Structure 1
Amino acid sequence: MDWWAFGLTLAITAILALGAKESTNANTIITITHVIIMIFIIIAGFVKADPANFKPFFPNEHPDNWKQIFNGACIAFFSFIGFDAVATAAEEVIDPVKSMPIGIMSAITVVSIIYILMCVVLSLMVPRELIDPKAAFAAAFEYVGLSWAKYIVALGAILGILTGILMGIYAPARILASCCREGMLPPVMSWVGPRQTPWVATWIIGICVAIIALFTDFAQLTDMVSIGTLVVFWFVAVALIWRRMHVPGAPKAPLRWANELLHVFAIIGFSIGFVLVWTLPIYNTVEDDDGVVSVGKWKNQQYKWLIAMAVLCAATPLSMFFFCKPAYVPAGYKVPLYPLIPCASVFVNTFLLGQLSIDSYKRFGWWTLAVSLLYAVYGVFAAQVKDDKRRSSNPNLADPSHDVCEKPSDSKADLADVPSKIELEMAATKV
């Protein structure tokens, strides 16, 4: 049992419960220190770099090296799950329409560059076969003769753990509070404390995380977090495509509806097809427990099917661009290069989901079944009752569950005047 993890999680939960300003200040100080340490590691690493360690750049001792590289991308994805947490802070931002896209994209860009440089530095400092998977950078500085630097590396690792736990509790607490305000969960969990923070939801999430950290193996947790986040990102990408195709309240032509469904299922189906060809043993080189390598039955045909599926995946957004014109375009920030970006997101998330273990899907399946049952027996009815009360208290208030439009329109000027969900809820509150 990991009592250190248990105690640290509860301590950070207490900091978060104090208030958004206090926790944000603490997170800012930790993050700035963390970034300074990483910059030090990058600079010191390049000073001790040996270009010979990059040769060969792509080792060929294993027949499925490309497969291993992309499998590693699924594990590395765990490092990028914090960016969605930025979106959950929208209610506590002065100008979220302007600030949220800048914050998310800036963070992704800066952190991606730092991650790439850290990876390059590590690979240049130490021969690939000597990299220590348990303490990579500490062992690397020991290898190049900078033993004192390993203590700085250790400090950076600790700070990374702190910020990871902080954001790992901060974001779910806000999501939980939002679900409670919508009626999908008991409203007591949405209570706001004197510092204007969802303190009940924060403590519930914090205590649950602390108990899980106390008893659960870290590798299982990383797989669970990765599969949950990838599924969410997958749904967001699909929902974005569907949202651009429809204006709520507009008449739905059967032919247009069928055409849109065809394109949505096409990008999903071709992405799954690519993953199946990539992962099925019958196409791949397989190594058994005794180290014996055998070639799959259709190994020499694999590349043909991969190319075919990749071409079909690339052709789908192109067809969507010509034959599925957007019916809705937001007035503020909008995802660029539509529909290429959401289609690419569907493909990448589907591909990474295909690299996870069977046990990960079993755990995720049971968890999904449990929360789905909770929603089916409680959430859907409680949310409907809450919406009915809103409309009965103000008959002129439209359905707050989505943006509304009295008449269908493709005009950006008209759509810009459509009240958002937040505006509708603010109006209801004032009434």
Structure 2
Amino acid sequence: MSSAVVDLDAACGPEVGGKAAPLAELLRAGFDVPPGFVVPVSVFRDAVAGLDIAGPPQEVREKLLATALPPSVDGAIARALDRLTGRSASGCVAVRSSSSSEDTDRRSAAGQHHSALAVRGRVGVRDAIRACWASTWNERAVAYRALGARGGRGGRSDESAGADAGEMAVLVQEWVDPQVSGVMFTWPGMAGGSGAVTVIEATWGIGDGLVSGRVTPDYWTVDGTGVSARRIGAKAERGDRVGGRIVTSPVPAADRARPCLRDDDVRTLHALGVRISQALGGPRDVEWALEGDRIRALQARPVTAELPAPAPQVPGRDVLRGVAGAAGTATGRVRHVRGPADFRQVRPGDVLVCRETDPAWTPLFTVAAAVITETGGVLSHAAIVAREVGIPAVLGVEAATARLAADAVVHIDGDAGAITLVGPK
């Protein structure tokens, strides 16, 4: 494949990367996937050919961000963008990484590479494409690949995820303005969907707050008999497009307290998840958006690690409870982390306690024993990465940073979502 741009409905093979290929397959099969185009890895390969990519990652990023696209490539992207936005009400697109090393059946690289939302115009799209390329060498992606090469804490090695940075295709898609967005994990069960189970998380507006862990979403488990479990999340904020930018606003109290999906919507999502999993051949992590009466599929990567099995609520000395995000147990000292300035204070074996995590915090997963957050859900990027690298996580723990003193020793049970105070400072 040598074209500078490939329409999404014709995209296939390793040249279009791990995110674009399954979406293209779904689009050809008749699923409701926003149209778009892919800038394949051959263009990335040409862009880095003259660069010293063996140098420090920051220098590589700076070189790629300053790289001028060849006129033929720039023109092809501009023409494809005009075709795409010419039929769009908003004139906006989403620009997302599609690396050959992400969204595989072993490693998701969830949140590790760049995505740009509500991008308008040729200059904005051109800059976003370069930012996706450069994110191959950002700190979190490098740390994530290093964890993969060592097999994480769980000892599962994946040599392809180590020093090999892969090659970056970029997916440009028509923008979707959703009322509700979310993620679902579906295990398809037997032929015909018998025995299929879907876990769904959802929030108001754009799903970026959910996947990044800033929002504690609503939650459902669905099987062939219907909804078997549900939990209403705080949903304290929402993101929406205003012009060419994303604006975050507080959610009114009444909307925080009510579910953002009806049971009919939940059952429809379950059926869609089963169909997607069967079409692509195995359990799937599907990002979706509810736009009007349409459910649009935005991502369909393999599920890389099992969710914690439901554990009984056993009375005891638990000081806090939250969402069981990643299985396992650990004991360590509480280390409050409010942002990158606190990273240097984290020591091997510490328990990270924070309001939320961010994909940029992946390097901390190389040293931390466990993670506790005040917001977030079991399908957020941080929870996915914690499961992949084998450290327990408990999420959505109200006021965790205020209620767990720095340097206190705590025991975390990631299966039960329980935190027990072991000792003071």
TM-score normalised according to structure 2 size: 0.29
Identify the structure with bigger relative contact order (alpha carbons < 8 Å, sequence gap 6+).
1
Which one has a bigger Cα radius of gyration? 1
Higher helix proportion (structure 1 or 2):
1
